[in-house]
Structure 1
Amino acid sequence: MKSRPLFSIALSTTLLASGLASAQTVLSASSWVPPTHTLSVAQKTWCDALEKESSGRMKCDILPKAVAAAPGTFDAVRDGLADISFTVDGYTPGRFINTQVAEFPFLGDSSLPTSLAYQRIYQKHFAPLGEHRGVKVLGVFTHGPGVIFNSKQPVTTAADAAKLKFRIGGGNINELSKLMGFNTTLKPAPESFELLSTGVMDGTFFPDESIVSFRLSMIKHATTFPGGLYNTSFVFMMNPAKYNALSAQDKAVVDKLSGEYAARTFGEGWDKVDAASREVQKTQGVVRVQADPSFIQAVAAKQAELEDRWAAAAAAKGLKDPKAVLAEFREEIKKAK
């Protein structure tokens, strides 16, 4: 038997390598927060798991710059400007209704159980209604409990808060702030440093993590609420055409890493940086106080009105018995702790 010429073996090896390389699926991943932010880190962690679970058949190209500002990210992924990203549902007011269930006050004191519970409620009740139609939802999650931060004075009462100007991120907290009579402006999180450092705003409503992530060294006061003043609904998503083009084997990998896996990845990451930020805040001289009982009661009273509004709007969108879904969500949070 004749041996194959060396040049023939080399050519075959080159062609094989070329075929393997061309078979790899590269997914562009965009983030509108810095690479060190927990959202960016969690997305990269997910991408690393994707590459590992697919034995290298899929990988992410982490883009150096966001393909769109935060409010435009949903449409950017839908239209294929990026294959993977995340966004805040409340950055486009009025567009998403059911997701507001994850933005109410007093839901929980950490991101992980709230995120897992939200993912379960979303999959059971919201996904069939297609509110995120246009993208492939990889997971939903929330940040940690919302806190009132400011650079001016202690805030323990609603009257204290009404004296200051705050940046907020949208969603339920936007409506709640209006009912409470607060002076607030809806702006994406990355704009916070400029708004506060120039004195345009006195403070911001944020989870603990954001004080470090957005370098808010001017913050000196924090006001907490049991279970948080508010929360934020996030969606982690993929371009559907990119997903549909995958092989059945690779779709199975993406599906394995979706749902509660994705919610856990983002939730665990957020809890970790929330805790680290609270330690940094101590060195920064941030004084933490809890809202007084009258403030908490005032928020609860206004929130009851907002829950009624949400239930009516969600029912009009096809959600059956929204108040029961909200109660189920709160029970799921308790189970997930």
Structure 2
Amino acid sequence: MATTSRIAIVGAGNVGATAAYALMLRGLFAEIVLIDQTPERAAAEATDIADANAIAQPVRIWAGDYADVTDASILVITAGAATKAGEPRTAIAGKSAVIVRDCVRQAMEAGFDGILVVASNPADVMTQVAQAMSGLPSERVIGTGTLLDSNRFRKRIADQLSVAPGALEALVLGEHGDSEVMAYSTVRIGGMELETYLAGQSFDRPAIAHDVMRAGYTIAEGKGYTSFGVATAIARICEAIHRDERVILPVSTMLRGQYGIEGIYLSLPCLIGAGGVLRILTPALAADEQTALLASADILRQTLQAAG
């Protein structure tokens, strides 16, 4: 497996370019290469980021091609079809699958042997498509999954409780999409369960769930796309891998019987390190949350089948 300090990003659109910028600011990698089907776009974004880099961390940033992924330790795929206004992520599965398979095929033919991080929508299904195409072990093909959703969940709970988001734990599980599960049973504030902390205080669960699930759509309706949130999630996952942090993050991974779910990618809390997903964790969930997680898995199976 490649061990160089190079990361390659396929897809120099809003998400890919923002992820490259976030990674540049962190100074994690000595080299960042952008690859896009429109080389001019990749070159322009690389030059723009490199200009900003003049007053940041020393990083080499350039627009390249698939030959450059051979020495990359991590390959991020953001390329895929774009949703239209109000369209669910699952609606573009077929179109995205064609794009993702082609990207992965070219990367593997070029000799890539690192860890794949997939952010193309619909994220869970595209991660499974990428893993099947790559032939890499599933622990080395990771989807951004519900990391961003969990951050949104924490923030909105924190806003209602008037505490800092860092003061609490909270997980969104399952699909990164409309069937995602707000796992209130995982919420902890200073080690206290949510109901204990509330002590009768009013708390609008439906509003939070709706806001978290619709957040991506709301942002896209306002500015045409999402970028900063998912780019930060990408950077965080890459950081955990690169530094072998062994941190727990809710990411999309292949389930092998957890909660009775087999052979499908969806998000659960995972131990992340240099080898990718080192362990999949199974927190104790409420009965309705487990039921919702199974339903989410079924939707992802159907979407995967429809993607061909």
**Normalising by the residue count of structure 1, what TM-score does the alignment of the two structures yield?**
0.29
- Which has the bigger relative contact order, CA under 8 A and spacing at least 6? 1
Structure with the larger helix share = 1
Structure with the higher strand share, 1 or 2:
2
Larger Rg: 1
